[in-house]
Structure 1
């Protein structure tokens, strides 16, 4: 059954259900017909018994026998046997009456060879003690033949109806499963070049519409992921092409002629800077790959956020002094998290704020400690970011606009993507707001995992 098609299974199920229902109905009809025949035979025998009792009332033995023969001659399928009170046979209306007859009073059924009888035992004179016992026999062979033919017809009907239902069920199932085959055909044609294909959910039956919507949603996610992966691959190639080209060019130029050890040392230092930047880029990419596969497992230790932020502000203080930017922190809070990961996330935000703030302005860190969560915001004044670009700030290699792009250096557009991965690994969320000359990165971290 494991390899049978769904249409075959449904057809067999329909056939089995039809066979069971037909057989049940046939058995009920057969039992009902048999009970009806028994009732008719019993009524006929009891009426005949009453007639015989009336016919022989007040007659002597010879008259009684003659009268019984007259009564029985009117119905060929009826026979009679009478025994006296001692059990001695007194009268048989036919020589074909079986030797052994049921002794129990009332009605019963007897088979003798090819002949079936309905038998009724009763006293000839119920009001007299020691009355002779009368046994009436009704030939019901034709009834039994009818019931046997009906049973054969029932079995034939069950078989034919099961076969017909199987064929019709297979046709109906195949027709009903046509949308499913259509779904399979469309899904089979989906490839990296055709992830925009969608199933016609509106044309599907109700039972398949939900599945079609789920598959369409899956295809949309795959399409989005593939587009991101393609763009990501192109961005990696673009980011690595320039430093590799610089390395090749610089090395080739250096090797064009003999140079002094000092020149070679400077060339190696220059190549080293490019290689360090590329190594950092690869490390960041590996970090994001681990985050995408849920492999970032932050440690849980109690953290005083005010202390952690103060450490970072002290680290960035020299850079802030160089560009005349004031650093400040407001509020405090506590939660359980990974110290190194959260420091890296906040460090990326502070570095981003210092790079894009105006000279002589402020960079602020605000901490709000609530019952179930901690809110952290990193704010800097500067040019506002258009609202339609805000959701893309956390994409890899994305820079808000050409005006914000700077020399490559150590910044490859991965800082915010790494920050979001760290925040999400802690069960939190991060988003950006930019209005009224201020840009704010807002972080919400739950306190449920606090150690």
Structure 2
């Protein structure tokens, strides 16, 4: 069976609530009407009882009969029975009085042959124990008919109000849920080629404003991810096109004619360099893919960061000496981490700093231990990086140098992305700052227990 729509559910809920409220109000009104009629009948019978006692007290029998007839003639729907203290019937004012009447004192309601009566039993002389009994009967059939019609009206009102509320509720719900249908229209129009559609948050009701904001934020993230994916694919093709073209060209040229063995050996060595660079590029891409899927599982071993930093600085010392760049390290700290991964991250940062440090510049590596984190800062002097480029530094295949050479074999623009993946795998964060002639990469790692 088809599931009920949200508008239908709201309409049925409105109808049910309206029916319950109408029914409760109708029942209360019906009970109040019944109680009101009982109170009126009680007052009427009490007043008639007082008149009858006065008429039948201290008078002659002939006069009593006349007074009885006078009293009863004033109320056509009122009847009287007089019985002795032993229950013997003495007098009936009408032949239609039921034979069996309640014997207990007080007010009661009975029904006989389709006629409803309110019955009041009371002694003629309240001060005497053997007093005759007066039984007053009031025909209340018209009251009961009124109550029955009112009950029918209540049920009719409940049904009509529930139906009207269901129709109006369905219309109101459909109108109120229009923003959801707008979301559905936008969602149906979304594809990889059209991710720029957005919901008008300002026109949304307060209940859906946060949902619309989250929906737009999701579309923004998807758009950004697709843009990055498209750029990533284009960058891969860009990086691989040149070495493949070199391999094909050099191989074709070598095979155009017979050559000495040394020429073939040289061609193979050149091809080997291209293939090694391509293999490194593929390995780096696979490394980043593992990081994206949370498959980088660093080993945990106690490391002295100062020792690891000194080993890297010693490795880069000849290169720094040739570039006339000073290397220095300050501070020390211990951490539980993966030695090879952390060395690779720091090596990428140092290599990046050396490439962009001018002659007679300086590269400093600082280690600082704080309350809950460890900070490792790699900074270099030289021309800074503009604020517009800082957020893109950790994007794959991004080069801060706008004059990058197409197909450069030295740096494919993956080093900082790999460094960020390694830092995140250790539960840390990395960001870049550039101001006042210094560019610094700041790594924050959580301290071990």
Query: Shorter-chain TM-score category?
Result: over 0.9
1:246-395 mapped onto 2 (5 Å cutoff) = 246-395=246-395
Measure the CA separation in 2 of the matches of 1:435 and 1:95.
117
Deviation at 1:265, TM superposition (A): 3.4
User: 2:243·2:407 contact (CA, 8 Å) conserved in 1?
Assistant: no
Deviation at 1:152, TM superposition (A): 0.4
Measure the CA separation in 2 of the matches of 1:166 and 1:193.
42
SS of the aligned residue for 1:341 comes to helix
Deviation at 1:446, TM superposition (A): 2.2
User: 2:333·2:367 contact (CA, 8 Å) conserved in 1?
Assistant: yes
User: 1:399·1:405 contact (CA, 8 Å) conserved in 2?
Assistant: no
Match of 2:233 in 1: 233
Deviations 1:210-238 (A, max 9, x none): 21111111111111121111111111110
Match of 2:50 in 1: 50
In structure 1, stretches of 5+ residues that fail to align are none
User: 1:83·1:91 contact (CA, 8 Å) conserved in 2?
Assistant: yes
Deviations 1:323-362 (A, max 9, x none): 4443321111122222222111001011112223234543
Deviations 1:263-294 (A, max 9, x none): 43333332222222112111211222232333
Match of 1:75 in 2: 75
The range that moved more, 310-319 or 120-129, is 310-319
Following TM superposition, the consecutive aligned residue runs of length 4 or more in structure 1 with deviations greater than 6 angstroms are none
SS of the aligned residue for 1:15 comes to helix
Deviations 1:374-405 (A, max 9, x none): 22121233333333323322221111123465
User: 1:120·1:135 contact (CA, 8 Å) conserved in 2?
Assistant: yes
Match of 1:445 in 2: 445
Give the number of aligned pairs: 449
Superposed CA RMSD in Å reads 2.1
Deviation at 1:31, TM superposition (A): 0.4
In structure 2, stretches of 5+ residues that fail to align are none
Distance 1:415 1:103, change over 3 A: same
Match of 2:28 in 1: 28
Deviation at 1:36, TM superposition (A): 0.4
1:120-135 mapped onto 2 (5 Å cutoff) = 120-135=120-135
Match of 1:414 in 2: 414
Measure the CA separation in 2 of the matches of 1:206 and 1:360.
61
The normalised TM-score by structure 1 is: 0.94
Deviation at 1:60, TM superposition (A): 4.6
Distance 1:291 1:17, change over 3 A: same
User: 2:298·2:425 contact (CA, 8 Å) conserved in 1?
Assistant: yes
Deviation at 1:408, TM superposition (A): 2.0
The normalised TM-score by structure 2 is: 0.94
User: 2:238·2:407 contact (CA, 8 Å) conserved in 1?
Assistant: no
The range that moved more, 327-336 or 341-350, is 327-336
Match of 1:401 in 2: 401
Deviations 1:7-47 (A, max 9, x none): 11111111111111111110011000000000000100010
Measure the CA separation in 2 of the matches of 1:279 and 1:240.
10
SS of the aligned residue for 1:306 comes to helix
Match of 1:179 in 2: 179
The range that moved more, 14-23 or 362-371, is 362-371
User: 1:65·1:91 contact (CA, 8 Å) conserved in 2?
Assistant: no
Distance 1:386 1:69, change over 3 A: closer
Deviation at 1:371, TM superposition (A): 1.9
User: 1:368·1:375 contact (CA, 8 Å) conserved in 2?
Assistant: yes
The range that moved more, 381-390 or 120-129, is 381-390
User: 1:42·1:107 contact (CA, 8 Å) conserved in 2?
Assistant: yes
Deviation at 1:181, TM superposition (A): 1.2
Deviation at 1:419, TM superposition (A): 0.8
Measure the CA separation in 1 of the matches of 2:74 and 2:87.
27
